[in-house]
Amino acid sequence: MLEFLHYPFMWRALLAGGFVAILLGWLGAFIITRRMSFIGDGVAHASLAGIAIAILLGWTPIPTAIIFAIFIGIGIYLLEKKTSISGDAAIAIIFTTFMAIGVILLHFYQGYQPELISYLFGNILTINNTDLLSIIIIGLLILSSLFIFHRQILFTTFDSVGAYLSGLNTTFYDLLLYITTSVAIVLSIKLVGIVLVSALLVTPGVTARLFARSFKQFIFFTIIFSFITVILGLIASYYLDWPSGATIIITTTVVLFLSYLVKKIISLNVHQQH
């Protein structure tokens, strides 16, 4: 029944997936509240340029993509806050421009690049010990920053003007959220892929909103649903022999619909009792 635990690649995938789920769950709660759900697609697709440069130069793709992600996060912030461009439009501009650069760069690569497919759609077999260590170390740094600055980020999320007038450096905390989200998205690329990562950032949060009665509960339930769906998706992908990224996303959607049905049944029972 638990034969998948005998394989090192599954342990690496489960550990990496668990960390990524917690990161995206916590960050996703803020992203959904700020109505920035499109940032997952934007950063993931824009990071293709960083991956393409790494492939052409023979570098390790993920560290290069992380550096790109930091600049992408800053770029989205500057376009949104320092110009009249809306947040979604800023993400779309960054997303399409950098993805186009990535496609052009890959055009110059001679030969088949099978690893590129794993970045597009995710592949647990490609997560090695170095990837796992990177995810854990960088993930702990992101979680530490979220824990330390949680109240400040919360304040700027719900009342940016009030936060600014109270003396908070809202620029710093906004940038911190944009950058940590961008880096977390890149960390999850090998797990679910560039094409699908946005769903993992958003869907658990949508599920959590069905049951949360406060923002604290919203964050907690988002992390729980994110963690459960990633682990279940990875296990299901092993037994069904399906692509890990697609299986995880299907799992998040199934859990969302089941949660909606449970919520509906509970509401009907409560209504009938009254």
Q: Which residue matches tokens 């409560």?
A: 270
> Under a CB-based contact definition with an 8 Å cutoff, are residues 174 and 227 in contact?
no
In this prediction, residues 72-84 reach a mean pLDDT of 88
The whole-model pTM stands at 0.92
CATH of the domain spanning 3-273: 1.10.3470.10
Helical spans, DSSP H, in the chain: 8-33, 39-46, 48-57, 61-82, 87-107, 114-121, 129-148, 150-158, 160-165, 170-187, 189-192, 197-208, 215-240, 244-273
pLDDT confidence bin for 112, thresholds 50/70/90: low
pLDDT confidence bin for 107, thresholds 50/70/90: confident
- Domain ranges within the chain, ordered by starting residue: 3-273
Q: Is pLDDT of 78 > 70? A: yes
pLDDT at 206: 96
Question: Three-state SS for 42?
Answer: helix
Question: Three-state SS for 23?
Answer: helix
pLDDT single digits (tens) 206-251:
999 999 999 999 999 999 999 999 999 999 999 999 999 999 999 9
> Under a CB-based contact definition with an 8 Å cutoff, are residues 50 and 68 in contact?
yes
pLDDT single digits (tens) 168-194:
999 999 999 999 999 999 999 988 999
> Under a CB-based contact definition with an 8 Å cutoff, are residues 108 and 57 in contact?
no
Q: Which residue matches tokens 């009938």?
A: 272
CA distance 161 to 80: 16
